[in-house]
Amino acid sequence: MKLIFVVILCFAFSFGAIGQTASNTASGSVNIILPISITSLGGNLDFGEILLTGSSTVYQLLPAQGQYFQIMGHPGRSVSLIFNQVDLSNAIWVTLYGGTVGNFIFTPVVIDSQNEPIVSGNFYPLINNGSTGILDVMVGGSISVSANQPQGDYVGTFTISVSY
């Protein structure tokens, strides 16, 4: 919005200057790209209640059962998605209830609406939808619980960012 204002300001100054200086001419073009946004469409990344069994286990949350996002921007433009592994900890729970602090890693799995994998750092085109470009993605992932993992509520924050 601020940049659009600057552009308008540029032209306003240009037109204002015409009355003062008649000898200078110039031509230029500018493409204004729609702002990009990513919003949650619902779902969650909640693995629910997991019973510790004394053996290491990988638990998987399928993307279709996870969190849904929609990316909106300029139709036809490609966007880069960035996301990383997340460290989950039960430190807050231990502070409240006692016990041993533990950690484990959440490894995200991101796919698009066609079930094609999305790789962090790669570019993907926004699909034309009228005057807007859209890319829907779903996020799931897996956690690896170790054999001696302490009990408690493990939390972490998954961040996904998009850019042109």
Q: Which residues contact other proteins (rule: CB under 8 A)?
A: 1, 3-4, 6-7, 9-10, 13-14, 17, 21, 24, 26, 28-40, 44-54, 57-61, 65, 67, 69, 71, 86, 88, 90, 106, 139, 141, 143, 145, 149-164
User: Rounded to the nearest whole angstrom, what is the least distance from the CB of residue 74 to other proteins in the complex?
Assistant: 9
User: Rounded to the nearest whole angstrom, what is the least distance from the CB of residue 111 to other proteins in the complex?
Assistant: 16
| Whole-number Å distance between alpha carbons of 49 and 74 | 41
Burial of 119 (0-12, 13-18, 19+ CB in 10 A): exposed
Q: Read out DSSP for 81-102?
A: EEE--EEEE-HHHHHHH-S---
Residue (52 or 119) nearer to other proteins, CB: 52
User: Rounded to the nearest whole angstrom, what is the least distance from the CB of residue 31 to other proteins in the complex?
Assistant: 5
User: Rounded to the nearest whole angstrom, what is the least distance from the CB of residue 92 to other proteins in the complex?
Assistant: 11
Residue (51 or 130) nearer to other proteins, CB: 51
Residue (127 or 164) nearer to other proteins, CB: 164
State the Rg of the chain over Cα. Answer: 24
Residue (23 or 114) nearer to other proteins, CB: 23
Cβ(89)–Cβ(156) under 8 Å?
A: yes
How does DSSP classify residue 63? Answer: G
Establish how many alpha carbons lie within 13 A of residue 49's alpha carbon, considering only the half-sphere containing its beta carbon: 1
User: Rounded to the nearest whole angstrom, what is the least distance from the CB of residue 72 to other proteins in the complex?
Assistant: 9
